[in-house]
Structure 1
């Protein structure tokens, strides 16, 4: 139900799904100097047949040829010291669906539509949002690539004190042919305005940066966002939260894409912390 009580028009969106056998390992705790070439050379040096490498700031997902190569990677490279950092290597998934729809689990039961929009802001064009069983929401993006990016960015993210589980959903959930993995009754689609209708992604030139040091200074925030846009305003929120306003919405979106999930090593910190960065819709 849209604001004002009028039904939002139903849109026809094709949910694309392909399923292929894929063997993948997660490689964590990487030094930022490690690039795709370094990883490929390391794996090949140890006789591990690999394909695509998805490298992030301090972790990567690497596709292996088969299960034997997954096990070889874990046995030979878990706890391997690469450029001064001890790597974490573990199995990621044995099958990967290609779809423009994702399933986000472990969300608060009464999460609102605006909160979901804020969570996925900057990751792609949101087409539809559907309520599943308790704590489960299905989000459909415009493309398969955007859905994959959302999984890589959100899976394992701590949201309101709970780690999210995010995966490609394909045809699961409301309107899909498969039952949700967790089972249980479906929740009425009238819950909190989450329904099978178009949910336009709202934009803002203001972002919220969470998990920052409590006593962070303005010049440290300016250094963090330097090069991402023209900083207009910086406001202190509750502990570890700072609001940053940019000159344009595009600059704010760029900041979210660049900073969300970043391992931040602030002044006086003994270890890095992972930032959560979202578009702030409170006044959008």
Structure 2
């Protein structure tokens, strides 16, 4: 199986066509490895005449698409269904030829090595930088952010109301027939009105976030109807930390903040607001 590599470069000067090599993609028909140099990206952003956050967003999208492609290829690896790899040599040849913005792709080059982690790191040091931020590192950082986020919610909210209301309550299609899959609500209680909260990490994809939000709203609507509570008078919260500006997640976060008819948006550091509301309302278990 042939292995190819492509270099990712940032054109820091359109007139002179000066560029910095910031990343490497190593691939064959079954797998991609991609890595970036943090300090090369920082250097490139300092030289660009555009908002550096656009570069961060582009790199994030490249990483996400290649990672999703890896997952799809692995899923159907031993299947009778043949799944074509859209990110192949021809695709990168096209990008190399027609990428005329600030981010460029070099022509893919065949290399007589295995597509493994050892060879990837050696090539990265040769072409890009001594320090590599691979997809594994990015995913580790993402998991750490999620872990810290969940812990803040536990400390600021769940620990304070666990003996008062339902916590980490799981709804499924037995309790709500319209649910296609189970849904966990961090806490919910009742006393005159419904009070509840759902924590969501905006490190997930935009599609997954939309699905989670739509399900949360469906759960609220179902509970309000079943227990004859007013949607306007209920107190439901969405606990979410502000994503990086310039990202699709930040746009969604901003839209939610502007429309708080059903959900009030608060950061994890302020999750104790929900605990105080539960105590003030003297909410309790009811399901």
Find the structure with the greater CA-based Rg: 2
Structure ranking higher in helix proportion:
2
| TM exceeding 0.5 | no
Question: TM-score under structure 2 normalisation?
Answer: 0.24
Question: TM-score under structure 1 normalisation?
Answer: 0.24
Structure ranking higher in strand proportion:
1
